[in-house]
Structure 1
Amino acid sequence: MANVVTPQLFESGYHAATDVLAGRATAATVRARLMDRFGLPQRTVDGYWQCHIALLNGTKFRHTLQADGWRFNLAKIAELGPVALMAALETFMEHIVYLKGKAGGNEPGLHRVHEEFVRAIQTSAVFNIAEAALDGQVAEAMAEPADVRSARLRQAPSKPEQQLVLSRIFKRSPYVIAEVLLRAAGICESCESPAPFTRADGRPYLEVHHRIRLADGGDDTVENAIAVCPNCHRERHFGAAYSEAGNGALPEVNSVMTQGDKETEK
């Protein structure tokens, strides 16, 4: 048989990998089987069954493999769900980065396969509204009778189901955060209590909160930020008084003052 990689090798390599993982065959057995069937050298056939194991286990992969071979194996892992696929894509990207360091190894085809499955994850995942949904579910659970809650606790799995979520984050300026923390000098700018503890490096622990949320169009500026203790920070996101002001924004009567302003007001 000619030394040609065919789509049948992708399928056979996948089944060989599942046999090894399940303990139905040894590496030597599947290697000999593939070499005999396809007339290919050991290193070539090793790539086509070890690829799937590497993607599942997150191990390094150093064989040369066609883009279609990667696509086939990623499609099989995608059947296990988006969490498994996300982990496999991290391994795949590590391999692509490895190839960039080799002469002629930066294959555009591999990048296209990676982007293809990233798009698949984006369409199957949900956006990160889990925390808000959980808060509503907790409120409903607290309103149920005690016997109903007890029954549901007995039925609840001890290991939580995993779900892949997509989050939009803002790349905040470290200089704005630094300036606000220096202005606060370790004192919560809401309740005026000292920071509840210090970090490992000795800095007082305060959190920087945006008066008008970035998600609501607020600016990432010193004027729009306040350094608060964790308790006050949670209040601004979930407290009744602040939710009435709108999405955790500080009411106008609690506007932030600089140290100079405070001294002037006295």
Structure 2
Amino acid sequence: MPNKITGTQISEAYLKGKLVFEERLALSDAINDLVSNGAMNKSSATDYVRNFLQMMKGMEYQRTLNFNATEYFLSSIYKDYGEKYLTLALSSVQKHLDYYEGIGKSTQKSIRDLVEGYWAKGIVGESIEEHLNNFSEQVKRSLSDDSKKRSVRLSSANKIPTSITVQTTVYRRNPDVVAEALCRAAGSCERCHKPAPFLRAKDGTPYLEVHHKIQLSRGGEDTIENAIALCPNCHRELHFG
């Protein structure tokens, strides 16, 4: 791919990508159109249109986009398709950055800062679950690298993290269900049957967490039959083990 892709070429590639995404043009025709009108060579045209399509699905792409193209694609996606697709596109760019850095390439710090800037502005609404899942995937990728690669990234990383606003759904839980489960447990985890690991500082009661066997987000009932009082270790194991 050539080092210099002009603004006109970027906008043309974006427009062709839109037509493909909206099923108004075949991918092969979009690429051929970009080549035939002199906008791009075939390699660049293929990479840019395919990368746009990956962004619209929130999926990793491996061929690079320069900063100007990434910025144009993100801003145009937000303008044309709204918050939902911007969130997918940002996730896609993040995955590309992790892949690119994971194979020992440059950190592309300007593009990473661009992505973090979008999150910090609060334009997109990432849920807590999505945020934790994305972060977990990033940690997994980092663990697969050696210490030398991590050191290279750390040397250019921002020392002060950006803050983001995440969206969450809060259920109005029945306090009687929680109280009954705690009373039933009588200070011991209902899974491992060990005493609560510590007492609450504010009132001296055993610290246990009430967990729904079938999560409320998956249609579980807020009932004593669906609730169990757990120590923190068992609670985390049920969620992440």
Q: What TM-score results when the alignment is normalised by the length of structure 2? A: 0.53
- Give 1:228 shift: 4.6
What one-letter code is carried by the residue in structure 2 that aligns with 1:78? Y
Residue 218 of structure 2 is aligned to residue 227 of structure 1: no
What one-letter code is carried by the residue in structure 2 that aligns with 1:86? T
Using a 3 Å threshold, how does the CA distance of structure 1 residues 28 and 117 change in structure 2: closer, same or farther?
same
What one-letter code is carried by the residue in structure 1 that aligns with 2:34? L
**Equivalent runs, 1:91-110 vs 2, <5 Å:** 91-110=92-111
Residue 52 of structure 2 is aligned to residue 68 of structure 1: no
Using a 3 Å threshold, how does the CA distance of structure 1 residues 10 and 118 change in structure 2: closer, same or farther?
same
Residue aligning to 2:78: 78
Q: How many residues align?
A: 163
Distance in 2, Cα, partners of 1:209 & 1:37:
73
What one-letter code is carried by the residue in structure 1 that aligns with 2:25? A
The structure showing larger relative contact order (alpha-carbon pairs under 8 Å, at least 6 residues apart) is: 2
Tell me, which stretches of 5 or more residues in structure 2 are unaligned?
129-163, 169-178, 212-241
SS in 1 for 2:64: coil
SS in 1 for 2:207: strand
**Equivalent runs, 1:107-256 vs 2, <5 Å:** 107-120=108-121, 122=122, 166=166, 192-194=183-185, 198-199=190-191, 202=192, 226-228=206-208, 230=210
Residue aligning to 2:56: 56
- Give 1:99 shift: 0.9
**Structure 1, residues 207-227: CA drift from partner, whole Å, max 9, x if none?**
999665xxxxxxxxxx87743
Runs of 4+ in 1 over 4 A off after TM superposition: 123-128, 188-191, 195-199, 206-212
Distance in 2, Cα, partners of 1:226 & 1:68:
56
SS in 2 for 1:38: coil
Residue aligning to 1:182: none
**Structure 1, residues 80-124: CA drift from partner, whole Å, max 9, x if none?**
33343223212111100111133443222211221222223x256
Using a 3 Å threshold, how does the CA distance of structure 1 residues 211 and 77 change in structure 2: closer, same or farther?
farther
Distance in 2, Cα, partners of 1:62 & 1:47:
9
Distance in 1, Cα, partners of 2:94 & 2:166:
19
Using a 3 Å threshold, how does the CA distance of structure 1 residues 226 and 85 change in structure 2: closer, same or farther?
farther
Using a 3 Å threshold, how does the CA distance of structure 1 residues 189 and 118 change in structure 2: closer, same or farther?
same
Using a 3 Å threshold, how does the CA distance of structure 1 residues 3 and 62 change in structure 2: closer, same or farther?
closer
Aligned-residue identity in percent:
14
8 Å Cα contact 1:14-1:73 kept in structure 2? yes
- Give 1:7 shift: 0.7
Using a 3 Å threshold, how does the CA distance of structure 1 residues 85 and 3 change in structure 2: closer, same or farther?
closer
What one-letter code is carried by the residue in structure 1 that aligns with 2:106? G
What one-letter code is carried by the residue in structure 1 that aligns with 2:207? A
SS in 2 for 1:193: helix
Residue aligning to 2:41: 41
Tell me, which stretches of 5 or more residues in structure 1 are unaligned?
129-163, 169-187, 213-222, 232-266
What one-letter code is carried by the residue in structure 2 that aligns with 1:119? A
Residue aligning to 1:7: 7
8 Å Cα contact 1:190-1:228 kept in structure 2? no
Larger radius of gyration: 1
Distance in 1, Cα, partners of 2:74 & 2:5:
18
Distance in 1, Cα, partners of 2:52 & 2:88:
12
